[in-house]
Amino acid sequence: MCVDPGKPYQDLPPLPPAINLLSPRIVRQTIAASRALATANAAAKRLPNPSILIHAIPLLEARASSEIENIVTTNDELFRAASNIATPTPATREALNYREALYAGLQSIQSRPLSINTAKLVCSKVTGTTTDIRADSGTYIGNPVTHERIYTPPEGKQTLLGHLSWWEEFLHEAQSEIDPLIKMALLHYQFEAIHPFRDGNGRTGRILNVLYLVHSGLLEHPITYLSGYIVEHKDEYYRRLNGVTQDGDWGSWVKFMLEAVEQTSRWTDARVIRIYGLMEQSVQSLDGTGFPARDLAYLLFTQPYLRYADLMETMGISRPTAAKWATAMVEMGLVVREKVGRHVILINHKYLEELFNTPLPQ
């Protein structure tokens, strides 16, 4: 099996591949990934407010997935822009588009099945322009330095629609005995190989991974950080994708994606435990102050860059009261205070340190 990287891969085989997906190494890794994901999903339910993770992890995912495409911003820039504290840079705006695309996809699958139309919606949000299946030729994946062609996806709108139809049919195949996590890996490769849009395919495909986990009932909320693992292993990610195309090496690709699920799930589980502990410490520190301790602590974690204006609006207090509460929280070491333009913001630095500076398991 050798695919000419300079010619469109018109005969891309439909899923599932005619290989053994139950080899011992795949079975072992599937079990490990499934257990880790279930543990993370259960751990997230311990948090009194799931918004704590729902706001934060999609932003981390957005930054990492954008970085895979060489769109680089920092976590600090991204969280500040998401909190309306700073004007987003072009790269930050693209990462914010990714988060909005994920949210739009999640809202969509609440009322209709995950489908090609979901992918179009997601890609439109990612790129900031109405997206349809590409009809032109000349699209290829190449080395950004040498411009050498590495892969040329299928061409022709009808050809692409045919491949996408098979992709969608496999997605919804109810009788399939393939484990959902293995199926996610197969679907992700196939979508990337079809490359149906002119731009945004990679980011769209990675959002579809998260949507599929929610759609399949494996996740209640989008709390996986798969792109964090992928960006840490970017060369291997592309090598494993190309290995399927050139050598039919589905096993190594599936194992890579299962490892991504396992390691990022372990990361999420550990973060939940630490964040829960930090929240309870904050509640204990605020007890006895006369402030609404638990509500205030939750606010610091759902909005780790908190403007005075948001504190006043959410808690229903005046500016002098907000200033009094802020001073007390600074003295307790719960937040640091910073003036940004006209805004005074309170930064939950311990929580952000936990999110930003804790590496994924290796």
Percentage of residues in the chain having pLDDT higher than 90: 77
Residue 327 confidence class, pLDDT cut points 50, 70, 90: very high
Predicted pLDDT at 150: 93
Q: Is the pLDDT of residue 359 over 80?
A: no
Q: Is the pLDDT of residue 85 over 90?
A: no
Q: Is the pLDDT of residue 354 over 80?
A: yes
For residue range 195-226, list pLDDT tens digits in order: 999 999 999 999 999 999 999 999 999 999 99
Beta bridge partners of 306: 346
What is the third-level CATH fold of 24-271? Fic-like fold (1.10.3290)
CB of 192 within 8 A of CB of 202?
yes
Q: Is the pLDDT of residue 250 over 90?
A: yes
DSSP type of residue 337:
E
Residue 249 confidence class, pLDDT cut points 50, 70, 90: very high
Predicted pLDDT at 144: 78
Most confident of 58-62, 120-124, 267-271: 120-124
H-helix or E-strand containing 238? helix 234-247
- Cα end-to-end span (Å), the chain: 32
Query: Does the annotation flag 195 for ligand binding?
Result: yes
Distance, CA of 353 to CA of 189 (rounded, Å) = 34
- Catalytically active residues, by annotation: 195
Query: Does the annotation flag 354 for ligand binding?
Result: no
Which CATH number is correct for 279-356, 3.30.1370.30, 1.10.238.10, 1.10.10.10, 3.30.70.100? Answer: 1.10.10.10
Distance, CA of 163 to CA of 160 (rounded, Å) = 5
Whether the link from the prior residue into 16 is cis, omega within 30° of 0, is: yes
H-helix or E-strand containing 65? helix 51-68
Percentage of residues in the chain having pLDDT higher than 70: 99
For residue range 12-23, list pLDDT tens digits in order: 999 999 889 999
pTM given for the model: 0.93
Query: Does the annotation flag 319 for ligand binding?
Result: no
Predicted pLDDT at 214: 96
CB of 157 within 8 A of CB of 133?
yes
Cβ-in-10-Å burial (0-12, 13-18, 19+) of 353 comes to: exposed
Collapse the DSSP code of 104 into the 3-class scheme (helix H, G, I; strand E, B; otherwise coil) and give the result.
helix
Spell out the SS3 assignment of 252-306: HHHHHHHHHHHHHHHHHHHHHHHHHHHHHHHHHHHCCCCCCHHHHHHHHHHCCEE
Name the more confident of 25 and 144: 25
Predicted pLDDT at 282: 96
Query: Does the annotation flag 199 for ligand binding?
Result: yes
Considering only CA atoms, give the Rg of the chain.
22
CB of 183 within 8 A of CB of 12?
no
Q: Is the pLDDT of residue 143 over 70?
A: yes
Q: Find where tokens 């003295």 sit.
A: 331
Domain with CATH 1.10.3290.10 in the chain: 24-271
Q: Residue range 176-203: average pLDDT? A: 96
Q: Residue range 119-145: average pLDDT? A: 92
Q: Residue range 307-336: average pLDDT? A: 95
Q: Residue range 228-241: average pLDDT? A: 95
Query: Does the annotation flag 128 for ligand binding?
Result: no
Share the mean pLDDT of the chain.
93
Predicted pLDDT at 129: 95
Predicted pLDDT at 1: 66
Residue 361 confidence class, pLDDT cut points 50, 70, 90: low
Domain with CATH 1.10.10.10 in the chain: 279-356
Q: What are the tokens at 249?
A: 């090496």
Q: Is the pLDDT of residue 137 over 90?
A: no
CB of 152 within 8 A of CB of 141?
yes
Query: Does the annotation flag 204 for ligand binding?
Result: yes
Strands 305-307 and 336-340, by their bridges, are: unpaired
Collapse the DSSP code of 219 into the 3-class scheme (helix H, G, I; strand E, B; otherwise coil) and give the result.
coil
Q: Find where tokens 């291997």 sit.
A: 236
